[in-house]
Structure 1
Amino acid sequence: MARGSDASGGQRPLAGILWMLLTGANFVAVTAPVKHVGDAVPAPQAAFLRYLPELVFLAPMLGPLPRAGIDRRGLAQYSVRGLAHALGVICWFYAMTRIPIAEVPAMNYLNPVYVTIGAALVFGERLALRRILAIAVALAGVLVILRPGFRELSDGHLTMLFTARFFGASYLMAKRLSECDPAAVVLAMLKRRVTTPPPEATKL
């Protein structure tokens, strides 16, 4: 049963695809500045600064949170999701300063692989043959990018492997939470949990 009255079990695949295309375009817009700054800003501090301005635009969403009726278990779930997402962002920022910019989004294609496998294990979704083939192709593509045994892998490549796992866990938890709360509440809670000033931020 939904905690919020606005939660809906209906699904609109086309709308979801369009929103994900817009999301991808926005991520591309973030990538170039991060690479330009490089390691001049520590990854935890850069992640904090990346989320801080969003609170201005998300302020209207914070109002409904006290009325969302989130119980202690829900708060724990949101906290775990926020931690996983924050670690993913930090790892992503760190990897951006260590490996070529083109390899970051390419390796991040492991993200939907983890989500697809997790959806089958956690939500019991059936994996059609085309999805299994897509996973196999994605894994083969990552091996082509990494070329293990043919070159030395940097810590940035290894970090991107963890990035995809953290983001995959965050998205799976978002799916579960969206069954209980409206999308606005799920998004607002993520921003509240992720936007936590790291120790370096206090020196700004």
Structure 2
Amino acid sequence: MSAVQNTKLGIWLMIFTTLVFAVQDGLSRHLAGSYNVWMVVMLRYWFFAAFVIALVSRAPGGIRAAVRARMPKVQILRGVLLALEICVMVLGFVALGLVESHAVFATYPLLIAALSGPILGESVGWRRWLAIGVGFVGVLVILQPGFGVFRIEALIPLAAATMFALYGLLTRYVAREDAAMVSFFWTGTTGAVVMTAVGIWHWEPMSAPDMGWMALLCCTAALSHWCLIRAYEVAEASAIQPLAYLQLPFAAMIGLFVFGESLRVNVAIGAGIVVAAGLFTLWRQHVKSRREA
């Protein structure tokens, strides 16, 4: 897709996208606290798949072109990974809350940098390895192993971050052969199929107010992805990718003021270390890309 470059618009779209993602996480936390996670994610994916199909059908070549993936097995694996990652992360919201879950999940860019070598064959310099090490020191500060009883729930968002990092790397891998709309189509439809196969067995009635919250969750899922697509259309990834970290403070504010969560000092310090390390790895990737160009 081609669009006129407008970095300022891309920045504002990315900021709005992270805000919508945070609201989406708050809605998921609320619904998953009362209903089965599999069902909640399944309903979300039904709407998301319908949105994807509608969007792809308007793209050049339509659905027929989107179906013809050159790497269908990898595309299916991507879709399954993302669907399961969402389920795991929502479980983390319920078990740990938004604040601590997002503080740990912020490690995913570091995991992408660490795994880009063995999976994509990219070289990772000593500066980025140092940043990765520093980032995981931040995770240890958040989790505080050795201080009191270690909460096994803390591993849930770390597992989600690992799954999302693998999804991101596979997305970069298939981008070598498949267009963005092809990947987008396979992500939505594969996820919907997988979640239906699992979630349909966990169906339970939903109250009228919660049906309204579920509808809002579905709408935010479509809106956030549309804004994200538009942001990457009008601005370079290197200019807007660091803004993805804004989801952490947005989600933290929802957790603090809506759900009454607390912000422990070690979580704030650890999250700051993780974000700083992640921003450094993004900057080093940008420098490397410019040199190669």
TM-score bin, normalised by smaller chain: 0.7 to 0.9
Q: Any idea what the Cα deviations from partners look like across 1:5-53, whole Å, max 9, x if unmatched?
A: x7x9xxx9x79x8576554333212122222234211121222223222
Q: CA deviation at 1:86?
A: 1.4
- Pair 1:57-2:56 in alignment: no
1:106 maps to: 103
Alignment of 1:79-98 (within 5 A): 79-98=76-95
Q: Any idea what the Cα deviations from partners look like across 1:171-200, whole Å, max 9, x if unmatched?
A: 111111111111111111100011131134
> Which of 57, 64, 67 matches 1:66?
64
TM-score by length of 2: 0.58
2:171 maps to: 174
2:215 maps to: none
Q: CA deviation at 1:138?
A: 1.3
Partner amino acid, structure 1, of 2:68: I
Distance change >3 Å, CA 69–CA 118, structure 1 → 2: same
Q: Any idea what the Cα deviations from partners look like across 1:98-130, whole Å, max 9, x if unmatched?
A: 013211111002211211112122223222343
Are the aligned partners of 2:53 and 2:63 in contact in 1 as well (CA < 8 Å)?
Answer: no
- Pair 1:121-2:93 in alignment: no
Q: Any idea what the Cα deviations from partners look like across 1:78-104, whole Å, max 9, x if unmatched?
A: 111111111111100111100132111
The range that moved more, 186-195 or 143-152, is 143-152
The range that moved more, 21-30 or 142-151, is 21-30
> Which of 181, 184, 202 matches 1:184?
181
Hey, what's the Cα distance between the residues in 2 that align with 1:56 and 1:199?
A: 17
TM-score by length of 1: 0.80
Listed as ranges, the gaps of 5+ residues in structure 2 are 206-293
Partner amino acid, structure 2, of 1:67: A
Hey, what's the Cα distance between the residues in 1 that align with 2:92 and 2:188?
A: 22
Q: Which has the higher helix share?
A: 2
1:30 maps to: 24
Partner amino acid, structure 1, of 2:94: T
The range that moved more, 153-162 or 89-98, is 153-162
Hey, what's the Cα distance between the residues in 2 that align with 1:133 and 1:199?
A: 45
State the number of aligned residues. Answer: 192
Larger Rg: 2
2:155 maps to: 158
Hey, what's the Cα distance between the residues in 2 that align with 1:57 and 1:85?
A: 17
Partner amino acid, structure 1, of 2:200: P
Partner amino acid, structure 1, of 2:183: V
- Percent of matched pairs sharing the same residue: 22
Are the aligned partners of 1:99 and 1:156 in contact in 2 as well (CA < 8 Å)?
Answer: yes
Are the aligned partners of 1:92 and 1:159 in contact in 2 as well (CA < 8 Å)?
Answer: yes
The range that moved more, 152-161 or 106-115, is 152-161
Hey, what's the Cα distance between the residues in 1 that align with 2:170 and 2:27?
A: 29
Matched residue SS, 2:71 = helix
Matched residue SS, 2:98 = coil
